[in-house]
Structure 1
Amino acid sequence: MRNSLFALVFAASPALAQAPDVSAIVDAHVLPGYQALAESTAALATTAEQHCSTDDPKLQEAYGAGFDAWIAVSHLRFGPSEQGDRAFALAFWPDSRGATPKALGQLIRDEDPVVQSLDSFQNVSIAARGFYAMEFLLYDDQFSAAGSEAYRCALVQVMSADIAATSAAILADWETGYADLMRQPGNDTYRTAEEAAKQLFTALATGLEFTGDTRIGRPMGSYDRPRPMRSETRRSGRSLRHVVLSLAALRDLGARLSGGDKALDTAFARALTRADNLDDPVFAGVSDPQGRIRIEALQQRISEIREIVAQDLGPRLGIAAGFNSMDGD
């Protein structure tokens, strides 16, 4: 991994605290993440207006910056990001039934005029929207040259505008109301500060689970049947990058929830060091015995983080050790 990417995971941790300061977490972790997403996706939409060719380096760079920003908040799957399936509109993956290529192929074959209006495009199949659909357009030969150049350009532009509009809507809802629901509990959403802290703990636990079991687990498959073609964003070579970016964001959230717990931060550091040394950007090594061992070692480091979160941090926050992050309770 590039040193510039890896360096971001060693940012200073928040000062040790007795209990999580939900307001501080909202202001220092949540809002800056969504602000970065809104800014970078607005830049993507602007870039697409002038650089809509699927092989244009400026478009691809802007797309990568926007996607990076999404991964940094992708664990915050509650509140405004869940309203109207906004998170799915940005990130429809895993796609076990291949809905995205089917939906995109249909649009291009029909030269569907839905691309002429953002309002119309926002009513298409959710599988044809967001970062993963755009990856097909930019990095898959089956789509990057399909149909007419004019239609591909229009599709890139409306898809970018849709990503930017969805990101802006999430941020607006956080800034104009949802942040205060967490800062000032005693409302129908968060009755107590403990409930708000539990929501953030759920985001941490679920984010770790998704990264370990899905981002890494899907391509791992089984020893007899590895599934490297199931790696997230393998077309754009971003699979390992997403693991690193996710762990960096989760490390920051974990530090803030735990008051800078040293054991937790050390576990994150070990996982990130393992990822930095992997040199396998799309987890192609799952098919090779030695490569598989190295990827399994990364997955194990993430499991160690999850154990600390469940067995130590959870009880400290008043959450039972048997808590299932995917249940949301």
Structure 2
Amino acid sequence: MRWMLAGLVAMCLPVMGWTGERTTLIRQIVDQEVLPGFAALSRSGARMAGWAELSCEHPDFRYNYVAAFSAWARVSHLRFGPSEEDNLAFALAFWPDPRGQTPKSLRKLLATSDTDLLSPDKFGEMSVAARGFYALDLLLFDDTIQSAGMAEYHCALVQAVTRDIATTAQQLDDRWSAFAPNLTDPAPDGVYRTEDEVLRELFKAASAGLQFSAELRLGRPLGTFENPRPKRAEAWRSRLSLHLLTEAVRGSGTLALRLSAGDAALSARLDRKLRRFEARAAELDDPVFAGVSAPQSRIRIEALREDLEAIRRIVDQELGPHLGVSAGFNALDGD
């Protein structure tokens, strides 16, 4: 269980007041969380694309699709630095999509059956709505999209999307490796001038990742009691909604735990809340949050959101002051 690192980080860095300890903490986060996370995404993306090239129907392709999507969820909170360059993160994950741009883009491609558009160079220049995991999810699991166009072209499009995901994941891996010294060795004329600035960026990533999970991954399907919206859940067609939520919270939660180093009581509280969330998620026999429409099952999903909100309160109200930073404004906060 990932949450077992809480005691370790608390013991390794007993106080956060010294620059050397902050430097050590940042190096641990970069070397043990950030870089391995993007390396895992790159490896799983390459495996997925390799299986797709063999056969669009091969069971190992579907298995590796889930593995690659999961690897993305675990680093999806790291939306700064290389992830924001050239729309790389959006090229992997254009969601939510309230205007339905992804199905529109895919239907247009399937209607034209233009194989020239599927070359790596041309496909990489397409709108992010036609690329990434959510486009692939529709191609593999949406009945309307599956039946559109010719079967041969449909498979070729699946292969183009998987190749593009693998390429984008490799670019992220390479760029994060090159970017890492900006985090581990801040300088007066660098991207980050001090360790405090680096810790603020990492804290914002953890906080925003948890907010995204609470407000979008859970909030969208929950809707309101009078108007639940189960079909707004993430990746509901492939039945990965709960799984991706759990992986995403694991990623941002682990980062928050790392950042709590130096305060054993804070680490323990955060660890307990994260364990409680994961236990409740494991008990929830509802992979797509379909139960939001029924009062009795909705209560269990709302309890999961309450667990997540409890984690968020600790992060924003306790972890931020511990680090001497605040989450500030982000794109999810609206106008």
Q: Structures share a fold, TM > 0.5?
A: yes
Aligned pairs for 1:1-329 within 5 A:
8-13=1-6, 14-16=8-10, 17=13, 18-19=15-16, 20=22, 21-53=25-57, 56-176=58-178, 178-186=179-187, 187-259=189-261, 261-320=267-326, 323-326=328-331
Q: Deviations over 1:238-292 (max 9, x none)?
A: 0000111112212211111001611111111111111111111000011000111
- Unmatched tracts of structure 1, length 5 or more: 1-7
Asked whether the 8 Å contact 1:115–1:158 carries over to 2, the reply is no
Higher deviation after alignment, 251-260 or 164-173: 251-260
How far apart, in 2, do the equivalents of 1:295 and 1:193 lie? Answer: 39
Compare the two structures and name the one with the higher helix fraction: 2
- Does the aligned pair in 2 maintain the 1:115–1:155 contact within 8 Å? no
Shift of 1:141: 1.3
Code of the residue aligned with 2:76 in structure 1: it is: S
Letter in 1 for 2:199: A
1:240–1:283 contact (8 Å) kept in structure 2: yes
Instruction: Check the 8 A contact 1:130/1:162 in 2, yes or no.
Output: yes
Distance 1:298 1:282 in 2: 13
Q: Distance in 2 between matches of 1:160 and 1:147?
A: 19
* CA distance in structure 2 between the aligned counterparts of 1:131 and 1:98, rounded to whole angstroms: 15
| 2: CA distance, partners of 1:99 / 1:325 | 24
Q: Report the residue type matching 2:5 in the other structure.
A: A
User: Following superposition, which runs of at least 4 residues in structure 1 exceed 3 angstroms of deviation?
Assistant: 8-14, 322-328
Please tell me the residue identity of whatever aligns with 1:27.
D
Deviation string, structure 1 residues 56-91 (Cα, Å, up to 9, x no partner)? 322211111110100010000111111000000000
SS at match of 2:75: coil
State the Cα RMSD in Å: 1.6
The alignment of Structure 1 onto Structure 2 pairs a total of residues equal to 317
Task: Report the residue type matching 1:25 in the other structure.
Answer: I
Letter in structure 2 aligned against 1:279: D
Give 1:52 shift.
2.1
Looking at structure 1, the residues matched to 330 and 251 of structure 2 have their Cα atoms a distance apart, in angstroms, of 17
Contact 1:310/1:323 (8 A) holds in 2: no
Percent identical:
44
Give unmatched runs, 5+ long, in structure 2: 17-21
TM-score calculated relative to the size of structure 2:
0.91
